[in-house]
């Protein structure tokens, strides 16, 4: 016998309703919702953001109402609006649910056809809670009242009244989650919350006036100016309310009234914050209108004018408030013409991003990447740029300003619509998170907290889409909208510029030339007219390349805008594009690999040195991509590159062609190393080693080529020849602007005439110097032999025996010191090694150098300090010869080597950094002193390299505060963003190192 399937109960069980709490069945029985007549109620309850919370709160309300529950129960069964509002409120906000339970009769305010109160009604209600009446003789537009209820009783009454009005709005906002009720638009919610804040602070002001001025009329005209989101009437459910006070007179009594209003408002409603006033929290709480005007005319920073965009009189003396706005508004619309506008805006944006801990950036709705602040920041910046000429942009509300920008052609209509949708979506999530417990928060729950995320999905009215459940839809929407907002700078700032010079969209509104120039100037371009010409040249016309450029340029311009010199970067990009017009891979790579495009713009906008190299070594751009093991710029190893330089040049018989081949590979390697350096992929020692390896390889290639040519012309070489690197080349610590200090040493081959062999070696060495030093567009290849015996008056090449005789008999102290950094870098390796063994007796003398030699070194050092610094140079910031600079550190290390290397073998080292480590290990200096010297050497080398990278030519002098110093600081990897702080850091580090130097030298 087949058993018929059991009929499914018409009354849904707790499990079917999504009720998970074990108390749910008992609570349903408590409410009497267990029969078929309650089915509609039950399914409505199941749609609450948190059905368990909503049911638990209803059960508590049942107990609080007692016999009155029957009336509510009957109303819920017939009034869908009440059902949606109450269930939505109880499931969406535990805090407001608690408020209704504490005041159980409040449910009646949610019944029937709900009419939300307007601003006047809200003000009357809030004033009514403290029985406030207008001040006697108060004129129109002077919202000064006197409360009859004061003290703690007033705060309690205001808190309860504020929660009443907030619950009404929240219930109407959440109703559509449960029932088919009208959705409250985002703009309306923000405006009503701002109206409620205005009304609440009007009542708080009435209590403050009654407390501070208990007798007689209030003698102060006090205006309260709303700032921030309240001023723009786009307030959150839980937010600080930013205010500024203006008073006539601004005396002690006015300050007491303002302070008391803030205290009452903070106790009863929300944090009332006056930190946006002149001078911030250090400034006077209350100022006269004239005092405000004087401050903004003389002292205000760019961000303070940006804050004034949203200023609005909210309560108190509205006429005085209106005069405040009228007096300061003209200054707001000229702020973009200030010299420091762009740096201040960029610094402010960086500070905002740095406020967010790294682990929260993907969850932060307000301040993270692709967040609300990104939209607000961009909209406000465009308003500041174009608002002076176009008064239609002078609106405080973000959404309305975005619409005005689209209407004026400053933003594409589609872009504005998409950004508005993303902005309103993120604000909706923010509102729901704040309503839950009436806590100020902007942070999404962690992804692993699935229950919290599921609640948010339901509260935000996410619905399954056939592929994902509500939670999946929410997570997808968060990613989609954040990604869309991340592109806002390219969309908001750069797309309209391109539409002005290229036919990207025939239907799009276009910026006027004046507006385009203004926008480029605000984005940091010093010569915006020239920049506009570059954009026209790149994206004008109907060619395929022009169309690709028009698509690429928004992203490229955004990346350039973050660099120290976007003008130079855009010009370099134009030159590069024109030079590579026939290279199909170039634009395709930039289009398909955004990281390559971003890195290229960072380099072009930062370094004249690399920009020039890339024009002749464009294939390096391919290395800007990421490979399987990380950035491809780091894949080539310096030793492999050096070997390739030597091998490549060896294919040519003619020395000039061989050296050209070596130059070509050197050019590419310099571009690679410098690019990786600018992008923060290499540290200082890695850069120095790579540059030294390149120089040694070029010397090897040149020497080999010249000897090869000589042998082809005149037969076998009569001598062996080695190149000894001196100075930073010998130490493996070359910088971008360093010459190659070398010695040439030869040894006649068996049977060869020594005179002829030496003559031949001198000819070879001279030709190597000449060929390498030939004029070129590449960075110079200057071979300096000034450290040879007898200096420039002595022969360029000596035999090993001649060097030994000279150093044994006639070497001066400075020459012995120079030998400390000698190392074989090219030519005959065996001869080079013999030379090094030979000079060990000179540079590491038994017993150390004499006291006379030490005195001589100190004398020479003093003379260098006083005489060798170039005329006009600043000794505090000259990276090579300045106080605590490279020469100071190197001389200190070398003095200790001369004194102690005879018995400490670890000091037999040509590297300054490695020798410093050995000095520390041998306890010749304290670890703290070694750390100071090391830090100074790295800091000075980094700064010196950055100078060359930025300017494209050799220089050792750090500039004073200004654009050039900012560029150097950025390339040097200074993370603070403030170039003055970079300079202060340099001065601090080198000053401490100088103290160690003076201690070692006994000065």
Question: Where are the alpha helices (H) located in 14-79, listed in sequence order?
Answer: 24-31, 39-46, 51-65, 69-78
- Identify the band that residue 215 occupies on the pLDDT scale cut at 50, 70 and 90: confident
Helix (H, G, I), strand (E, B) or coil at 661: helix
Query: What average pLDDT does this structure show over 755-766?
Result: 96
Distance CA 728, CA 692 (A): 8
pLDDT at 505: 52
> Does residue 602 carry a pLDDT above 70?
yes
Please tell me the least confidently modeled range out of 112-126, 366-380, 817-831.
Answer: 366-380
Q: Tens digits of per-residue pLDDT, 312-347?
A: 999 999 999 999 999 999 999 988 777 767 667 767
Q: Tens digits of per-residue pLDDT, 6-23?
A: 445 678 888 899 999 999
- CA 661 from chain center: how many Å? 41
Provide φ and ψ at 531, rounded to 5°: -60, -40
Burial call 237-252: b when 16+ CB within 10 Å, e when fewer? bbbbbbbbbbbbebee
Q: Tens digits of per-residue pLDDT, 724-748?
A: 999 999 999 999 988 899 999 999 9
pLDDT at 864: 84
Is the separation of the CB atoms in 405 and 324 below 8 Å?
no
pTM score, whole prediction = 0.77
Residue 235: closest CA among 271, 194, 188, 185 = 194
Distance CA 598, CA 558 (A): 9
Query: What average pLDDT does this structure show over 234-250?
Result: 96
Query: What average pLDDT does this structure show over 78-87?
Result: 96
Q: Which residues contact 969 (CB under 8 A, 6 or more apart)?
A: 946, 979, 982, 983
Most confident of 88-92, 563-567, 737-741, 852-856: 88-92
Is the separation of the CB atoms in 573 and 556 below 8 Å?
yes
Distance CA 936, CA 939 (A): 5
Say what the alpha-carbon torsion angle 978, 982, 983, 988 is, to the nearest 10 degrees.
130
Q: How many CA atoms lie within 13 A of 875 on its CB side?
A: 10
Kindly report whether the peptide bond that precedes residue 859 is cis, defined as omega within 30 degrees of 0: no
Q: Give rounded-to-5 percent helix, strand, coil for the chain.
A: 65, 5, 30
Q: Which residues contact 662 (CB under 8 A, 6 or more apart)?
A: 645, 646, 648, 649, 697, 698, 701, 702
> Does residue 401 carry a pLDDT above 50?
yes
- CA 767 from chain center: how many Å? 50
- CA 16 from chain center: how many Å? 49
Query: What average pLDDT does this structure show over 880-890?
Result: 95
Distance CA 264, CA 35 (A): 49
Rg (CA), the chain: 38
The CA–CA distances, whole Å, from 960 to 702, 936, 965 equal 40, 19, 6
Q: In this structure, are strands 719-725 and 132-134 parallel, antiparallel, or unpaired?
A: unpaired
pLDDT at 2: 43
Provide φ and ψ at 248, rounded to 5°: -135, 110
Q: Tens digits of per-residue pLDDT, 144-181?
A: 999 999 999 999 999 999 999 999 999 999 999 999 99
Please tell me the least confidently modeled range out of 54-68, 149-163, 523-537, 759-773.
Answer: 523-537
Query: What average pLDDT does this structure show over 768-792?
Result: 90
Distance CA 282, CA 273 (A): 13
């Amino acid at each position: 016998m087949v058993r018929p399937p059991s009929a499914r109960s018409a009354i849904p069980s707790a499990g079917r309703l999504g009720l998970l709490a074990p108390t749910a069945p008992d609570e349903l029985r408590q409410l009497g919702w267990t029969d078929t007549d309650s089915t509609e109620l039950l399914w409505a309850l199941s749609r609450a953001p948190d059905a368990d919370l909503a049911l638990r709160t209803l059960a508590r309300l049942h107990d609080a109402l007692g016999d009155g529950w029957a009336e509510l129960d009957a109303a819920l069964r017939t009034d869908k609006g009440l059902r949606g509002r109450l269930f939505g409120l109880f499931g969406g906000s535990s805090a407001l649910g608690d408020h209704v339970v504490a005041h159980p009769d409040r449910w009646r305010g949610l019944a029937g056809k709900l009419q939300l109160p307007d601003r006047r009604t809200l003000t009357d209600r809030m004033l009514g809670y403290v029985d406030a009446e207008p001040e006697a003789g108060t004129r129109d537009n002077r919202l000064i009242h006197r409360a009859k209820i004061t003290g703690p009783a007033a705060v309690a009454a205001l808190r309860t009244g504020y929660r009443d009005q907030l619950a009404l709005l929240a219930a109407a906002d959440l109703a559509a989650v449960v029932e088919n009720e009208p959705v409250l638009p985002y703009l309306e919610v923000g405006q009503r919350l701002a109206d409620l804040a205005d009304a609440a602070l009007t009542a708080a002001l009435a209590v403050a006036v009654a407390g501070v001025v208990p007798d007689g009329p209030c003698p102060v005209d006090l205006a309260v100016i709303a700032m921030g989101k309240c001023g723009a009437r786009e307030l959150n459910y839980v937010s600080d309310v930013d205010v500024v006070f203006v008073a006539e007179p601004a005396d002690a009594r006015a300050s007491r009234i303002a302070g008391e209003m803030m205290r009452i408002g903070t106790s009863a409603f929300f944090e009332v914050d006056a930190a946006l006033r002149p001078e911030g929290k250090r400034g006077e709480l209350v100022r006269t209108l004239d005092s405000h005007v004087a401050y903004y005319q003389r002292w205000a920073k760019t961000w303070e004018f940006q804050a004034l965009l949203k200023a609005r009189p909210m309560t108190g003396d509205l006429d005085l408030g209106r005069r405040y706005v009228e007096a300061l508004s003209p200054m707001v619309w000229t702020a973009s013409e200030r010299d420091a506008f762009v740096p201040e805006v960029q610094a402010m944006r960086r500070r905002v991003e740095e406020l967010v801990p790294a682990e929260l950036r993907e969850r932060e709705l307000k301040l993270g990447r692709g967040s609300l602040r990104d939209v607000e920041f961009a909209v406000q910046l465009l308003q500041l740029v174009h608002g002076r000429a176009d008064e239609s942009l002078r609106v405080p509300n973000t959404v309305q300003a975005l619409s005005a920008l689209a209407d004026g052609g400053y933003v594409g209509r589609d872009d504005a619509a998409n950004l508005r949708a993303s902005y309103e979506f993120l604000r909706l999530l923010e509102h729901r998170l704040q309503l839950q417990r009436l806590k100020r928060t902007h942070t999404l729950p962690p992804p692993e907290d699935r229950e919290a995320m599921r609640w948010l999905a339901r509260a935000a009215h996410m619905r399954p889409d056939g592929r994902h459940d509500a939670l999946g839809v929410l997570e997808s929407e968060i990613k989609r909208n954040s990604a869309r907002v991340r592109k806002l700078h390219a969309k908001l700032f750069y797309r309209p510029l391109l539409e002005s010079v290229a036919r990207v969209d025939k239907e799009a509104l276009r910026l006027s030339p004046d507006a385009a120039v203004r926008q480029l100037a605000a984005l940091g371009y010093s010569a915006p007219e020239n920049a506009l010409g570059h954009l026209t040249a790149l994206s004008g016309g109907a060619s395929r390349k022009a169309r690709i450029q028009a698509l690429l340029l928004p992203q490229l311009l955004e990346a350039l805008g973050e660099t120290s010199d976007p003008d130079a970067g855009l010009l370099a990009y134009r030159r590069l594009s024109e030079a590579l017009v026939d290279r199909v891979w170039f634009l395709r790579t930039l289009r398909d690999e955004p990281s390559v495009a971003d890195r290229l713009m960072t380099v072009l906008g930062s370094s004249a040195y690399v920009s020039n190299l890339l024009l002749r070594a464009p294939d390096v751009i391919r290395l800007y991509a990421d490979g399987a093991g990380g950035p491809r710029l780091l894949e080539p190893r310096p030793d492999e590159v050096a070997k390739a330089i030597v091998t490549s040049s060896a294919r040519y018989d003619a020395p000039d062609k061989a050296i050209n081949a070596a130059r070509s590979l050197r050019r590419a390697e310099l571009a690679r190393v410098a690019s990786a350096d600018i992008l923060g992929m290499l540290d200082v020692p890695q850069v120095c080693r790579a540059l030294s390896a390149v120089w040694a390889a070029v010397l090897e290639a040149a020497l080999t080529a010249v000897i090869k040519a000589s042998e082809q012309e005149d037969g076998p070489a009569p001598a062996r020849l080695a190149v000894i690197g001196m100075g930073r080349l010998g130490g493996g610590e070359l910088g971008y602007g360093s010459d190659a200090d070398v010695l040439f040493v030869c040894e006649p081959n068996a049977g060869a005439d020594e005179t002829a062999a030496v003559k031949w070696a001198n000819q070879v060495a001279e030709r190597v110097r000449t060929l390498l030093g030939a004029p070129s567009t590449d960075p110079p290849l200057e071979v300096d032999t000034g450290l040879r015996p007898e200096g420039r008056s002595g022969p360029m090449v000596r035999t090993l025996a001649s060097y030994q005789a000279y150093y044994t008999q006639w070497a001066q102290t400075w020459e012995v010191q120079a030998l400390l950094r000698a190392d074989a870098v090219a030519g005959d390796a065996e001869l080079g090694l013999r030379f090094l063994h030979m000079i060990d007796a000179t540079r590491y003398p038994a017993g150390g150098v004499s006291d006379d030699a030490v005195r001589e070194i100190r004398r020479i050092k003093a003379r260098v300090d006083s005489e060798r610094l170039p005329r006009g140079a600043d000794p505090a910031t000259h990276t090579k010869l300045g106080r605590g600079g490279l020469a100071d550190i190197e001389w200190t290390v070398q003095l200790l080597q001369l004194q102690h290397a005879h018995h400490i073998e670890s000091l037999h080292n040509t590297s300054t950094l490695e020798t410093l480590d050995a000095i520390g290990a041998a306890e010749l200096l304290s670890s703290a002193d070694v750390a100071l010297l090391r830090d100074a050497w790295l800091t000075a080398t980094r700064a010196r390299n950055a100078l060359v990278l930025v300017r494209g030519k050799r220089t050792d002098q750090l500039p004073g505060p200004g654009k050039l110093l900012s560029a150097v600081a950025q390339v040097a990897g200074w993370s603070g963003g403030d170039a003055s702080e970079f300079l202060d850091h340099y001065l601090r580090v080198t000053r401490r190192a100088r103290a160690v130097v003076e201690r070692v030298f006994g000065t």
